[in-house]
Amino acid sequence: MADTTDNAHVLIHPPVAWGLAILAGLALNWVAALPFVPDDWPAGLIGTIIFVAALALAAWAIRTMTGAGSNVPTNRPTTAIVESGPYRFTRNPIYLGMFLGLVALSIAFNDLWLLLMLVPFALVIRYGVVAREEAYLERKFGEVYRNYRTRVRRWL
């Protein structure tokens, strides 16, 4: 059973927010298509390559986090500040993978609505998830987290 007191209390679980952004973009495209990729570009191939890179980044981050013995789901306690793997370069590699994945899908499906959904998704992640996670990590880990935060950027 998850400890409901020792977590960041995010507004929405990031995979749910990501899925909603995708569904909204696809639904809007179904209502009023807004293609944006030039016809002579291999949109499917470009989107697939970017999506695979996004998936690899997220998988690497998840493997690094779980390998360090900490939890990935936002409703579970964080047990350690992970500073290895992709966490050496960014404090939020899983969310970066989600952002890249949304860009990749917008290219692959030639759907400008999906790309536009990046704005509300990014705002929800930044203010409804990351801000709460950062406050939680500072409360829980104090100086250890503050030192990590000064060395590693939030995004890139």
Q: Note down pLDDT in tens along the chain; length 156 residues.
A: 455 689 999 999 999 999 999 999 999 999 999 999 999 999 999 999 999 999 999 999 999 999 999 999 999 999 999 999 999 999 999 999 999 999 999 999 999 999 999 999 999 999 999 999 999 999 999 999 999 999 999 999
What is the model's pLDDT at position 4?
63
pTM exceeding the 0.75 threshold for the entire prediction = yes
Rounded Cα distance, 140 and 27, in Å: 40
First to last CA, the chain: 34
- Count of all residues that appear for the chain in the document: 156
What is the model's pLDDT at position 59?
98
Per-residue 3-state assignment (H helix, E strand, C coil) for the chain: CCCCCCCCCCCCCHHHHHHHHHHHHHHHHHHCCCCCCCCCCCHHHHHHHHHHHHHHHHHHHHHHHHHCCCCCCCCCCCCCCCCCHHHHCCCCHHHHHHHHHHHHHHHHCCCHHHHHCHHHHHHHHHHHHHHHHHHHHHHHHCHHHHHHHHHCCCCC
What is the model's pLDDT at position 5?
83
